[in-house]
């Protein structure tokens, strides 16, 4: 009887250890085949280029190809749904972007719930915007601009890359926090010719897109939208220096289908944070106007939730509808 009991306890202990061994095995053997990394934007843009830069480094570190697959359309919703429907095994990943957080409220009927259906894995980078005006606007600072806008309600045209775009919601956040009245003018193509020509007066746009126009005086930078001043424009203040609490950046991260094993998510997070510390990659990101955004998985999950909540308030305030 004692031998039988001892054997039972031994077997029970072995069975209890199996999940731990299994989890270690998952982490040690992942990935054992190519990984698809789905990007919801066309090839050739900054998001696609950065995905390929990081994917190449992950391939070198983990010994399997990270294959970038572009699925543009519906403001990244097509790509997101493809990952939501994929097996939660770590072999289909999503390039999450700030548009994902905006789309949660912008679109009334999506076939998925971004927050619950996509597991946050890691932050990748953020891109600050710059509040810039045509030089004909008689404002040399954010306070000047607020005073000018309030003296000319509805007479300032604010350009963006389209309804619900990062530039649009950044401008609407500024309106929400300052009480100014500006007319939103969405563009399907580049708004820069009209901004340079004075047909539109202000934009909250990517620094990399217009920094040469700012340096040559063809556009006037009033402030950057990040929480801190930027090395590319060190003398330009932040919006928050005049409008406390204001912050708006374009960002990107890595997501996976819900129920992806935690061990795989943890390994990807660790490897991505190591890649983001590489000096060569940091320099390449800087060339594209991007700043590394390494985070623990829990930090990135909270960041995405906070961004979603912030833009929900702005979208409801402005009554923004998708095009």
Mean pLDDT, rounded, for 289-307: 97
User: Where among 205, 221, 241 does a domain terminate?
Assistant: 241
User: Where among 186, 212, 241 does a domain terminate?
Assistant: 241
The per-residue pLDDT for range 183-194, each reduced to its tens digit, is 999 999 899 999
Could you give the percent of the chain with pLDDT greater than 90? Answer: 86
* Residue 216 and residue 260 share a domain: no
What is the per-residue pLDDT for 323? Answer: 79
Does 21 have pLDDT greater than 50? Answer: no
Does 230 have pLDDT greater than 90? Answer: yes
* Residue 105 and residue 116 share a domain: yes
The per-residue pLDDT for range 127-170, each reduced to its tens digit, is 999 999 999 999 999 999 999 999 999 999 999 999 999 999 99
Mean pLDDT, rounded, for 43-52: 96
Q: For residue 10, name the pLDDT band (cuts at 50, 70, 90).
A: low
Does 18 have pLDDT greater than 60? Answer: no
* Residue 166 and residue 219 share a domain: yes
What is the per-residue pLDDT for 11? Answer: 61
Q: How far apart are CA 309 and CA 316, in angstroms?
A: 11
82 occurs within a structural domain: yes
Report how many domains make up the chain: 2
What is the per-residue pLDDT for 150? Answer: 96
160 occurs within a structural domain: yes
* Residue 254 and residue 213 share a domain: no
* Residue 270 and residue 175 share a domain: no
On the CB side of 106, CA atoms within 13 Å amount to: 25
Q: For residue 28, name the pLDDT band (cuts at 50, 70, 90).
A: confident
User: Where among 174, 207, 241 does a domain terminate?
Assistant: 241
Does 61 have pLDDT greater than 90? Answer: yes
Domain span holding position 171: 128-241
277 occurs within a structural domain: yes
31 occurs within a structural domain: yes
Which residues sit opposite 256 in a β-bridge? 119
16 occurs within a structural domain: no
Whole-number mean pLDDT of the chain?
Answer: 93
* Residue 231 and residue 256 share a domain: no
Dihedral sign for Cα atoms in the order 272, 273, 278, 282: positive
* Residue 146 and residue 188 share a domain: yes
CATH number of the domain to which 237 belongs: 3.40.190.10
* Residue 311 and residue 274 share a domain: yes
Q: How far apart are CA 160 and CA 205, in angstroms?
A: 8
Helix or strand run (H / E) with residue 311:
helix 297-318
The per-residue pLDDT for range 234-245, each reduced to its tens digit, is 999 999 999 999
Mean pLDDT, rounded, for 68-78: 96
């Amino acid at each position: 009887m004692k031998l039988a009991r001892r054997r039972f306890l031994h077997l029970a202990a072995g069975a209890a250890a199996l999940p731990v061994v299994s989890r270690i095995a998952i982490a040690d053997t992942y990935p054992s085949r190519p990984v698809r990394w789905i990007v919801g934007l066309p090839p050739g843009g900054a998001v696609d280029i950065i995905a390929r830069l990081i994917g190449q480094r992950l391939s070198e570190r983990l010994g399997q190809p990270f294959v970038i697959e572009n699925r543009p359309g519906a403001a990244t919703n097509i790509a997101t749904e493809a990952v939501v429907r994929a097996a939660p095994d770590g072999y289909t990943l999503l390039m999450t972007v700030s548009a994902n957080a905006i789309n949660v409220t912008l679109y009334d009927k999506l076939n998925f719930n971004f927050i619950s259906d996509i597991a946050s894995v890691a932050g990748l980078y953020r891109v600050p915007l710059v509040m810039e005006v045509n030089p004909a606007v008689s404002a040399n600072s954010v306070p000047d601009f607020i005073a000018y806008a309030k003296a000319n309600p509805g007479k300032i045209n604010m350009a963006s890359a389209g309804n619900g775009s990062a530039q649009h919601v950044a401008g609407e956040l500024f309106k929400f926090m300052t009480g100014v009245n500006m007319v939103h003018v969405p563009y399907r193509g580049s708004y820069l010719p009209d901004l340079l020509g004075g047909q539109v007066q202000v934009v909250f746009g990517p620094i990399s897109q217009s920094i040469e126009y700012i340096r040559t005086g063809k556009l006037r930078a009033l402030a950057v939208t990040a929480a801190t001043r930027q090395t590319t424009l060190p003398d330009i203040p932040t919006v928050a220096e005049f409008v406390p609490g204001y912050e708006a950046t374009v960002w990107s991260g890595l997501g996976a289908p819900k129920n992806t094993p935690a061990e795989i998510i943890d390994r990807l997070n660790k490897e991505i944070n190591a890649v983001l510390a590489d000096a060569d990659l940091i320099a390449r990101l800087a060339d594209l106007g991007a700043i590394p955004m390494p985070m623990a998985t829990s930090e990135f999950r909270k960041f995405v939730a906070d961004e979603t909540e912030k833009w929900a308030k702005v979208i409801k305030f402005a009554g923004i509808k998708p095009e």
